Structure 1
């Protein structure tokens, strides 16, 4: 059983992102479009300007981003971070650790998504840093844009079929990971919520003895400038928040 005794508040994942400045085939600079299957994600903008493009049941949307703005999107929403001038974001991720454990699927073309081995090869990075990793991250982004553009075009034309098919394919691609995700969820987000329930029970019974265990914690980034899905990523080695995968 995984033990995550001191997660961040609410057992959220935390990272900082600087959106990629690489120009894609459609002339837009930014990250790799993808979706999450079970995690809601939030962007808290700390500097610069840009946007997040989303694909959902209501169609295509572009949400402007500037310092102080917050945007969030639920599972199944395809999202693409767009760079328009030194965009910097703090990311809050539901269900600590699940995205790093595979709860994210790129919008690669259907023929790549249909082959798990081919998908894994395209999604992975050969290293955590250096020119080879940067080149692979850029190829990965460009392949995701190749699959994203037809999804967006179909939605804008009133046809949700390709988007729905992408969701179904993504769900099948990660289905084998569910037992690992469930273990992480039980040890992190669920355990945190249940701990609050026990504290409420204790308070209601007039027994605040658990307050004797009060502690304070601090940390600093454990990795700077990694190649994430949306941009260069600073992350924290906090239980449940970072699993040292390629992001």
Structure 2
């Protein structure tokens, strides 16, 4: 990942994907994605087309942020968020800590009985990659609707305890994954920061030799139209690779 001060992943060890937000109508008449939160990753939206909004819930309360082309919106871990598609909403998504979201750094706002243990949660949320597309869509839509039940309950609860209880349940669900997450973070965001530190040390000494190892990379999506939590995703395999010494 880092060789001689070079880090060859995306800047800062982030991840990127292209998102077409679901236009499936929900029970409340709103079209959009699955409410969830991240536990260790901030998320950013760069809106590239269409129109919509992101509904968010934090300890500070419920908010709605409009999304139109040119908007850059972001939020930190613990923010429950639901994307709303008002007119062909398309977004480039940037995620902190490349690899962690794919390794489970997201918990859907399912009703409490589905958050009791990892097995129960997985049974309600997993979309089998080898299932026919119609079946994958059915499962993705069903888990979206189930998560909306829990989201509505959180939004309607009086006082902060319901959200705090969801935070505790989410943290307990992902705890078995922390060792794996830490290793991904070390190979990604930590390695990117360490590379910058090494480059600054070299430059302070008057050593510019790391500049001779510059590399250029360009990638096309490694997968198109994956059923994600918020919509159909084009994803990129952009893990860092060792650069020239």
Q: TM-score, normalised by structure 1?
A: 0.93
Question: Partner of 2:34 in structure 1?
Answer: 32
Deviations 1:65-118 (A, max 9, x none): 000001111000100000000000000000111000000000000000113211
- CA RMSD, 1 decimal: 1.7
SS at match of 2:88: coil
* Aligned counterparts of 1:42 and 1:87: Cα–Cα separation in 2: 15
Show the counterpart of 2:194. Answer: 194
Partner of 2:136: 133
Q: Please give the per-residue CA displacement for 1:121-149, whole angstroms capped at 9, x wherever unaligned.
A: 11101226611111110011011001110
Distance in structure 1 (CA, Å) of the matches to 2:2 and 2:111:
35
Tell me the equivalent position of 1:101: 103
Which of 108, 113, 116 is the aligned partner of 1:114?
A: 116
Contact 1:113 1:170 in 2 (8 A): yes
Instruction: Please list, as runs of the form range in 1=range in 2, the aligned pairs for 1:1-247 lying within 5 A after superposition.
Output: 6-127=8-129, 130-154=133-157, 157=158, 159-239=159-239
Q: For residue 86 of structure 1, give the secondary structure of its aligned residue in structure 2.
A: strand
Partner of 2:243: none
Looking at structure 2, the residues matched to 57 and 214 of structure 1 have their Cα atoms a distance apart, in angstroms, of: 44
Take 2:202 and 2:73, find their aligned partners in 1: how far apart are those partners?
36
> 2:223 and 2:2 mapped to 1: Cα distance?
23
Q: Report the 3-state secondary structure (helix = DSSP H, G, I; strand = E; otherwise coil) of the residue aligned with 1:87.
A: strand
Preserved CA contact (<8 Å) 1:50 1:84: yes
Name the SS for the 1:84 alignment partner: strand
* CA distance, structure 1, for counterparts of residue 60 and residue 150 of structure 2: 19
SS at the partner of 1:30?
A: coil
TM-score by length of 2: 0.93
Distance in structure 1 (CA, Å) of the matches to 2:117 and 2:206 = 58
User: In the aligned structure 2, how far is the partner of 1:204 from the partner of 1:218?
Assistant: 31
Number of aligned residue pairs: 237
What is the CA–CA distance in structure 1 between the aligned matches of 2:29 and 2:115, rounded to whole Å? Answer: 24
The DSSP-based 3-state class of the residue aligned with 2:8 is coil
Uncovered stretches (5+) of structure 2, i.e. residues with no partner: 241-245
Give the match's secondary structure for 1:221: coil
5+ long unaligned stretches in structure 1:
241-247
SS where residue 7 of structure 1 aligns?
coil
Task: State the distance in 2 between where 1:217 and 1:117 align.
Answer: 39
**Take 2:32 and 2:2, find their aligned partners in 1: how far apart are those partners?**
35
Q: Distance in 1 between matches of 2:127 and 2:95?
A: 22
